[in-house]
Chains A and B, each alone.
Chain A
Amino acid sequence: MYCSSCGAYNQDDSRYCGNCGKRIGDEEVDESSPPPQTYSPPGHRVVPNIPNYLVQAILVTIFCCLPTGIVAIVFAAQVSGKLQAGDIDGARRASNNAKTWAWVSFGLGLGIMFLYFILALAGLAAA
């Protein structure tokens, strides 16, 4: 289900949003005592909406020209593994690393390729 407050995705049985910490499903949001971000009510496993950037990692590895995307896949696996283990802060760190490495691969790889491509088009236009 989606958080009624911030729109983040949460598991169906969660009571609090893993993203903003607000109660899910309640239209009246209790502002007096907001639970902390990683709060997990007993018996209710909250899986926060932490992206693992797996699709981006695959894109930069297979559809781009630098194999540094492999590192992004490693961090994507870490995000899922840490979420499964309940390590929310670790999952966030891995998520940030996955994002960074996806961008590094994209910037280095596709950036060079795109520049070359534009130059080739300019060459075709001039010819």
Chain B
Amino acid sequence: MAMASAGPLATRVTVGPLLPVMGVSLSARAKCLLLVAVGIIGGAVLYNVDPRNSGTYPICPFFGLTGCFCPGCGTLRALHLLLNGNPLAAMGYNPFAVLSLPFIAYSFLTGALRAFALPAPSPVFVRAGWIWGLLGAVLTFWALRNVPLAPFTVLAP
């Protein structure tokens, strides 16, 4: 009986290891606070330091190795422009990053509410078809933004 009551309590407090390699296990609340802290520090740096001036931030390893754009190219510049209140220019660097932000924010906020035992909307079950569609869209975006011809150069960062 003691074991049966200890099990559910333990799973409630510790959701999963954040850094499984290092053997560090954090509660869901600690994860939320850590992510917020990282977000604030990262946001502050990104707000002030413009990635369009080369040399400040690391170059994308994929771009460095292949010379091709990846689906994530331009995200840092897009986020910098968003923080500085220029969503249209941000879309020009990486529309995927800008458009996915509301979904990521929703996922984080509802997860944080649940972690702190506050009332939260039920998790959204995303059907497989939508995810395959997203995969197709990302792969198409990846391919087309590397085409150096007129209509597709809009997608390049």
B-contacting residues of A (Cβ < 8 Å)?
A: 5-7, 9, 20, 29, 31, 47, 52, 54-55, 58-59, 61-67, 69-70, 73-74, 76-78, 80-81, 83-84, 103, 107-109, 112-113, 116-117, 120
A108: chain B residues at CB < 8 Å are: 61
Q: In the complex, what distance in Å separates the CA atom of A113 from the CA atom of B57? A: 8
Pick from B61, B97, B107, B108: contact of A66, CB under 8 Å: B61
Q: In the complex, what distance in Å separates the CA atom of A64 from the CA atom of B134? A: 17
Contact with A along B91-112 (1 / 0, CB 8 A): 0001011001001100110000
A-contacting residues of B (Cβ < 8 Å)?
A: 1, 4, 7-8, 11-12, 20-21, 56-58, 60-63, 70-72, 75, 94, 96-97, 100, 103-104, 107-108, 122-123, 125-128, 131-132, 134-135, 138-139, 142
A81 pairs with B128, CB closer than 8 A: yes
Q: In the complex, what distance in Å separates the CA atom of A66 from the CA atom of B138? A: 13
B61 pairs with A109, CB closer than 8 A: yes
Cβ of A86 to closest chain B Cβ, rounded Å: 13
